[in-house]
Amino acid sequence: MSEAHGKPEEGAEVPAVPGEADHSGLLPRPAHDRNVSPVIESAMSRAVLVTGAASGMGWAIAKRFAAAGDRVAILDKATAGIAEKLKEELDGTGHVVVQADLVDSDAVLKAVDSAAEQLGGLDVLVNNAGVFTLHPITEVSYEVWQQHWQSTLGPNLIGAANVTWCAVRHMKERGGRIINVSSRGAFRGEPEAPAYGASKAGLNAFGQSLALALAPHGISVSTVAPGFVRTPMAKPYLEAPGGDAIRAQSPFGRVGEPDEIAAAVFYLASDKAGWASGAVLDLNGASYLRT
C-alpha cells in the first residue's frame, strides 16, 4: 500500500475502521475508485436537476450552476414563462424545463426521465421544492389540520423521496451529488407550521440514510438548513409588522439572500465536497445555534 499518497494499491484490501459499522460488503468498487464520479471530478459541464427552480432559492441555485457552465433542468409545478426567463437570464446553453407536481408520482417519473434524456444523464440533484403553510394546532379544525399535514409532507418529504428514487436510476452507474434543501425549522421548531418542521426533519433523516445507501455508488448526499431567506415564500412574513423581529433573529440584522444558499449548494455539489456526505449545513446567519 502506498501510504504516502493515501491511495491503496490495485486490489489491496481496505482495513476496517475500528468502532465503525462495517459497510465494506456494500462497496463493489475498488477503494481508490469509490466516491468518484468521472463528471464531478472533471471540469466538464454537469447535468443538474433542481426542483422548485422556477422561483426563489431554486432559481438562484439554477443560475449558480449555469454560471459555472453546467446544464440545468428546472423541475417545477409552475412553469409558465420559465422557458423564456431561462433563455434570457441563465448563462450558457442546454438548459431545459420539465413540469411536474411533486405529489404526482407518475408525473415525477416522466419529468425526471425527460430531464435525464435531454441533459444526457444526471450528475447532480437538488431537492429544493417545498411549501410552507400555517396551521397552529389550537386554532385549526381537525379537518384543516389533516389537510395541512398532507399538503406539506406530500411535496416536502414524499415528493423529494420520489424525485430522488427517479434520479438515482440515472446516477448510480456514474456517481454524483444529491443536495436537499431543508430548514432551520427542523431544529428550532415551527410552532405555527409543525408539519413543515416535521417534513424538514424527515428530509434531514432521509438525506442521512441515503448518504449511507448511496456511497457505494459514488453518490454523496448532503443537506442545507437555511433560516429565513428573502424569497417569495418568505415575503409575506418579512413585509408584515413582524418582519423586523424576523430580521433581528440574526445578529447580522437581516435574513439570508438566495445566492448565499446557492453558493453553499454549489459547493456541496463540487468534487471537493464528497466527504461532506451525510452533513446538514446550517445557513442561518447565527440566528439559531446548535451543537
Ligand X SMILES: NC(=O)c1ccc[n+]([C@@H]2O[C@H](COP(=O)([O-])OP(=O)(O)OC[C@H]3O[C@@H](n4cnc5c(N)ncnc54)[C@H](O)[C@@H]3O)[C@@H](O)[C@H]2O)c1
For the CB of residue 259, give the shortest distance to ligand X in the complex, in Å. 12
Q: Which of 196, 237, 267, 288 is catalytic?
A: 196
Residue whose CB is less far from ligand X, 233 or 279 = 233
If the CB atoms of residues 60 and 119 are measured against ligand X, the closer one turns out to be 60
- Count, residues in the chain: 291
In three-state secondary structure terms, 282 is: strand
Q: How far is the CB of 12 from ligand X (least distance, A)?
A: 43
3-state secondary structure the chain: CEHHHCECCCCCCCCCCCCCCCCHHHCCCCHHHCCCCCCCCCCCCCEEEEECCCCHHHHHHHHHHHHCCCEEEEEECCCCCHHHHHHHHCCCCCCEEEECCCCCHHHHHHHHHHHHHHHCCCCEEEECCCCCCCCCCCCCCHHHHHHHHHHHHHHHHHHHHHHHHHHHHHHCCCCEEEEEECCCHHHHCCCCCHHHHHHHHHHHHHHHHHHHHHHHHCEEEEEEEECCECCCCCHHHHCCCCHHHHHCCCCCCCCECHHHHHHHHHHHCCHHHHHHCCCEEEECCCCCCCC
Q: How far is the CB of 57 from ligand X (least distance, A)?
A: 4
Provide, rounded to whole angstroms, the least separation between the CB of residue 31 and ligand X. 36
Nearer of residues 154 and 175 to ligand X, judged by Cβ: 154
Q: How far is the CB of 135 from ligand X (least distance, A)?
A: 15
For ligand X, which is the closer residue by CB, 30 or 189? 189
Residue ranges that bind ligand X, judged by CB under 6 A: 52, 54-58, 76-78, 101-103, 128-132, 155, 159, 181, 183, 226, 228-229, 231-234
User: Among residues 53 and 214, whose Cβ is nearest to ligand X?
Assistant: 53
Residue 188, all three cell numbers: 428550532
Q: Reply yes or no on whether 288 is catalytic.
A: no
Looking at the annotation, which residues are catalytic? 196
